[in-house]
Amino acid sequence: MSDFEFIFALYGLLLGLSLAEVLGGLARAIEARLRPGSTVRIGWLTPLLGAFVLLDLLSFWQAAWVVRDTVLVSGKALMAITAFAGAYYLAAHLVFPRDVENQPDFDAHFFRVRRVIIGVLVALLICQLGLYASLPTIAPHLLRPLALGLVAILLLLMGAAMFVPTERWARVVMLALVARYVVVYLL
């Protein structure tokens, strides 16, 4: 077993649990909405936040492959992976409300949790960029115009998603965040 395989087992487990959190939250939301007499309003914002978190999570999963040759097993690496992927799990856990009956308007839930969730994702992105900048084989790629542009767009949209005041603008920004990832994945 290589160092990467050993470390990735922990990373993959925690990121997999994060995926399950978002998908499980979506399943609970749909189930609550389909109950006879339900007054639950799922709206657009929380599902878009869930889609964004899933796509962002996939980008970090893919990023692990980029650094596979630089990973060495150590206590420091295990703690860093646990903190990083653990923060992702916490953000994913917050996307959908736990008690659907006491939170029947998911758009209101979005406005309550968006700054925490997106703030965590911004912090993780900064950590990832810091790691990349410290690796001589990867650092030069960060300075390419396309890479700089994509990161700048991502950070601007994430900032906007944290602070836009209206439901309409939040929907536009969240759609743009999801679209940005879909376009990047298809390139």
Q: How far is CA 121 from the centre of its chain?
A: 6
Q: What share of the chain is helix, strand, coil (3-state, %, to 5)?
A: 80, 0, 20
Bridge partner residues of 105 (DSSP):
41
For residues 121 and 127, what is the distance between their CA atoms, to the nearest angstrom?
10
What is the average pLDDT across 156-164? 98
Query: What's the pLDDT tens digit per position in 62-121?
Result: 888 888 888 889 999 899 999 999 999 999 999 999 888 778 899 999 999 999 999 999
How confident is the model at residue 42, as a pLDDT? 92
* Alpha helices (runs of H) in 35-71, residue ranges in sequence order: 45-66
For residues 80 and 59, what is the distance between their CA atoms, to the nearest angstrom?
18
How confident is the model at residue 101, as a pLDDT? 75
Angle between helices 106-134 and 45-66 (to 10 degrees): 20
For residues 83 and 182, what is the distance between their CA atoms, to the nearest angstrom?
27
**pTM exceeds 0.85 for this model:** yes
How confident is the model at residue 66, as a pLDDT? 83
Give me the torsion for CA of 144, 181, 93, 74, rounded to 10°: -30
Q: Which is higher by pLDDT, 75 or 4?
A: 75
> Is 113 strand, coil or helix?
helix
> Is 82 strand, coil or helix?
helix
Residue 136 contacts residue 72 (beta carbons within 8 Å): no
Res. 186: pLDDT tops 80:
yes
Closest CA to 109 of 118, 121, 98: 98
Average pLDDT, the chain: 93
